[in-house]
């Protein structure tokens, strides 16, 4: 099949050789990785690569033409161990992803994982979906409802040859094309088509592109590929939305070159972080998040927020996760003795204003 041919709606995987390290426990929800990316960036190439790789996992791939009319769709599942592809029917309501489809999609996913042969992972390619947020929040919320599936992470494929043009063309225009939004929501960015960059310029161009990606989303892990040939360990079971993954993104926050002091107000899509050592009142933090995310009191368009909180009278690290207006604050492990108790919050969005964020957050502190 040509890569550009119509792909099947859902497909799973053959047995394989790339190792996916952690054995999922039988009762645990099956992880769903959402794949986004601009037209032609290489999403189908990634899906085909995974379908043909040797990793020994049963991975279903669902390709969904959001924005198109959606009805009953075909799903194909490989029955492991060199077995034949089995077709499934995934029933999706017609309509927009913001309303009916997302619920029927979750139901369809749940039916898929309730088959007698357990799936190890699901990839959901979101062709035609400019903004993954509605889908992401419903998958994430569904996890909170303890269903058979859970959102694992968002992978955005970008075209290394065209990214610079796409970004610079829209940088000052006030329009925010898919590329910005898709990078802003990404936990992992696959910087694909590296082969199309001339060899002598490769190192500097890659550095430059990584800087641009991190300028939009400092927390994204960037992986360079040709034809999306990526180590699956790096994109599956990342648990980007679980409290357990805090250590990983705490490290990222340390490593990422966050730029609060140089860009105090950025009208584009960017990342900002705030740091405060004093303990906070949890109720006030909830009120503050609702002001920010629901009421948009400070006129910022926040796509993602991640962070840790030093909560008054608590020895537990509390973590914040937000996707657009949906947020949660969850208590996690205890602070280690040697650890500096601190509030660290990272925001990814448009029109971010450091001063407003810092000033308003001060209202949550129990010490002023």
Q: Which residues bind ligand GTP (CB under 6 A)?
A: 3-4, 37, 39-45, 127, 192-193, 195-196, 226-228
Dihedral over Cα of 251, 178, 228, 14: its sign: positive
In the complex, the smallest distance separating the C-beta of residue 155 from ligand GTP, rounded to whole angstroms, is 12
Q: Of 197 and 280, which has the nearer Cβ to ligand GTP?
A: 197
Instruction: Render the burial of 264-293: b for 16+ CB within 10 Å, e for the rest.
Output: eebebbbbbbbebeebbbbeebeebbeebb
Instruction: Return d(Cα 198, Cα 201) in angstroms, integer.
Output: 6
DSSP secondary structure string, 274-319?
Answer: EEE-S-B-HHHHHHHHIIIIII-TT--EEEEEEEEEEBTT--EEEE
Token pair recorded at residue 265: 């107000």
CB of 193 to ligand GTP, least distance (A): 4
CA distance 316 to 55: 38
**What are 192's two structure tokens?**
């694909």
| Residue closer to ligand GTP, measured from CB, 57 or 193 | 193
Q: What is the C-alpha separation between 172 and 268, in angstroms, rounded?
A: 8
Comparing CB distances to ligand GTP, the nearer of 179 and 192 is 192
Question: Which residue's CB is nearer to ligand GTP, number 101 or number 197?
Answer: 197
CB of 191 to ligand GTP, least distance (A): 10
Distance CA(182)–CA(188), nearest Å, equals 10
Cβ distance to ligand GTP smaller for residue 155 or 228 = 228
Alpha-carbon distance of 168 to 265, in angstroms, equals: 19
- Shortest Å, Cβ 194 to ligand GTP: 7
The two three-digit tokens of residue 363, written as one number:
């209202």
Rounded to a whole number of angstroms, the minimum distance from the CB of residue 299 to ligand GTP is: 33
Distance CA 51, CA 46 (A): 9
Q: Is the CB of 196 or the CB of 203 nearer to ligand GTP?
A: 196
Nearest distance, CB of residue 127 and ligand GTP, angstroms = 5
Select 30 or 158, whichever has its Cβ closest to ligand GTP. 158
Minimum CB–partner distance for residue 238 and ligand GTP (Å): 21
């Amino acid at each position: 099949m040509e890569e550009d041919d119509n792909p099947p709606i859902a497909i799973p995987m053959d047995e394989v050789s790339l190792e996916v390290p952690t054995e999922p426990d039988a009762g645990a929800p099956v992880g769903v990785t959402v794949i986004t990316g601009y037209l032609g960036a290489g999403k189908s190439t990634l899906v085909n690569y995974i379908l043909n790789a040797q990793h020994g996992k049963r991975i279903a791939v669902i390709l969904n033409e959001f924005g198109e009319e959606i009805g009953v769709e075909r799903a194909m599942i490989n029955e492991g161990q060199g077995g034949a592809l089995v077709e499934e029917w995934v029933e999706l309501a017609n309509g927009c992803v913001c309303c009916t489809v997302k619920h029927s999609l979750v139901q369809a996913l749940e039916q898929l994982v309730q088959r007698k042969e357990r799936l190890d992972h699901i990839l959901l390619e979101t062709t035609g979906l400019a903004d993954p947020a509605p889908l992401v929040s419903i998958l994430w919320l569904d996890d909170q409802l303890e269903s058979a599936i859970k959102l694992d992470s968002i992978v955005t494929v970008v075209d290394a040859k065209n990214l610079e043009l796409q970004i610079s063309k829209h940088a000052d225009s006030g329009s925010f094309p898919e590329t910005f939004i898709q990078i802003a929501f990404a936990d992992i960015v696959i910087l694909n088509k590296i082969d199309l960059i001339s060899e002598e310029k490769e190192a500097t161009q890659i550095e430059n592109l990584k800087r641009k990606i991190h300028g939009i989303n400092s927390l994204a892990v960037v992986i360079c590929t040709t034809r999306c040939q990526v180590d699956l360990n790096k994109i599956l079971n990342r648990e980007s939305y679980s409290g357990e993954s805090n250590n990983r993104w705490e490290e990222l926050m340390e490593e990422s070159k966050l730029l609060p002091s140089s860009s105090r107000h950025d009208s584009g899509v960017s990342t900002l972080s705030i740091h405060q050592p004093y303990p906070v009142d949890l109720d006030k933090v909830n009120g503050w998040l609702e002001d920010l995310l629901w009421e948009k009191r400070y006129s910022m368009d926040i796509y993602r927020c991640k962070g840790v909180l030093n909560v008054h009278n608590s020895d537990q690290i509390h973590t914040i996760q937000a996707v657009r207006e949906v947020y949660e604050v969850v208590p996690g492990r205890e602070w280690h003795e040697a650890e500096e108790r601190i509030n660290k919050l990272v925001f990814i969005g448009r029109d971010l204003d450091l001063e407003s964020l810092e000033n308003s957050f001060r209202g949550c502190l129990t010490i002023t």
